[in-house]
Amino acid sequence: MPKEGMELSYVDAILAAQTKILIENDQSLILGINVTSPSAIFGSVQGLFQTFGPQRVIESPASENAMTGIVLGLATSGHVPILVHQRMDFAILSFDMLINQVAKWNYMYGDKLHAPLIIRMIVGRGWGQGPQHSQSLHSTFMHVPGFRVYTPSSPQDIYSGLVEASRIDSPSVFFEHRWLYDSRGEVDKSKEFLEHSTKTLSDSNASSLTVLSISFSTLEVLRAERILRKQNIVIDVFEIVRLDQLDLESILESLNRTRKLLIVDIGHAFAGAGAAVLSELVTLGAIFDERPQILGLPNHPTPTAPSLAKHYYPRCIDILNSVRELISLPISFVDPDEGNQLDIPGDRFIGYY
């Protein structure tokens, strides 16, 4: 186990949190396709089968709806199951059980029967995964009361969120973008509850624009923020860490100053999570001097070819160009990804499949 306070990768933070849950609660267990395979679901369950054995780290069949019913039964009988989907797309097969049963359980039984289960769903692009293996449907779960919906981008927040979810009575869904897995950050293992559902990453009275990000988009926004600072342009940056519990007070305070908004999401822009957040801000009285922009996926399925994918996903240069448009300054930017392979997150990570 990594020491407290040390730097961890995102995937190692997931592994550390699950290890802690399994050690501290002997009623906890992990299930999923490939949880016992050498690839260990992108390394996120590496060594758990060898440490905890087949009674607690369970290889499941490709029967997603049935397995969700099983983990619901386990959760209602005193266990804390973690069900892992190595592609969010596979979890679609379990929507009947998830939406009609798991999400409704506490409510239907008057909070007397609980379902403390964790569903991990890996999302994101790369390596030509295409329309059936790279969807990010986190906004769907925003529309289903009963779930805690986590989209953290930092190792600390994924660690704290998972440990927190193991100690509450509600079902929790985690969306983990695979391009985050190699990102690194400090993790304080004494922080066992998420400190914020909306995280302030940059906030200044000198800001020209308010920017909200979700999941991996946060890393791209922060890249853009560093480039903008070199041109003496300051933006406020906020990350939505939990989609089911929007804390918008700090964002509204920023908007009162800037009156300009950009939202960057990993999902579809039309009727997506960004649109839902914007709607909530307008309902709460946000006023804009410029038309708010949402950068997200266009309204068609994911292409497989890298030549098409590079035009499909919002990138750092798209964020920079949107900022330029919103603040109406005659500035230009060099694409920081020029010459890179845009279907992989840098040469350091080539994927597991």
Q: What is the pLDDT of residues 135-188, one digit of tens each?
A: 899 999 999 999 999 999 999 999 999 999 999 999 999 999 999 999 999 999
Q: Is 249 exposed, middle or buried (0-12, 13-18, 19+ CB in 10 A)?
A: exposed
Assign 235 a pLDDT band (cuts: 50, 70, 90): very high
pLDDT of 35 strictly over 80? yes
pTM: 0.94
The answer for residues whose C-beta is within 8 angstroms of residue 124's C-beta and 6 or more apart is 134, 136, 177, 178, 179, 180, 216, 266
pLDDT of 26 strictly over 60? yes
Amino acid identity of residue 301, one-letter, is P
Assign 348 a pLDDT band (cuts: 50, 70, 90): very low
Q: What is the pLDDT of residue 346?
A: 59
Domains (range + CATH), the chain: 8-186 (3.40.50.970), 198-327 (3.40.50.920)
Angle between helical axes of 10-24 and 155-165 (0-180°, round to 10): 20
pLDDT of 134 strictly over 90? no
The model's pLDDT over 240-254, given as tens digits with 9 standing for 90+, comes to 999 998 999 999 999
Cα 29 from Cα 21, distance rounded (Å): 9
